[in-house]
Amino acid sequence: MKLKVYFEPSEEGGYTVYVPSLPGCISEGDSIEEATKNIKEAIQAYLEAQDLLIKDKLLTTKYIEVR
């Protein structure tokens, strides 16, 4: 899975990272490398939490293609 992320330099140093397609999925790090590692962990946790919410609500999911 590929996701677009934005690295924003922080005034205090380091970077804040946002994932526009995952509302509220934000992380930070002292360097681009650390911020990248941290956002990957945040994305994994975000997706796992979403999966648990779907299972708890017994929702039906379906993949559709939009062109």
- Closest by CA position to 2, among listed 21, 17, 26: 21
Q: Is 56 exposed, middle or buried (0-12, 13-18, 19+ CB in 10 A)?
A: exposed
- The most distant pair of C-alpha atoms in the chain lies apart, rounded to whole Å, by 44
The reported pTM is: 0.76
Number of Cβ within 10 Å of residue 19's Cβ equals 18
- Confidence label for 67 from pLDDT (cuts 50, 70 and 90): confident
Domain ranges across the chain: 6-57
For the stretch 6-47, pLDDT in tens is: 999 999 999 999 999 999 999 999 999 999 999 999 999 998
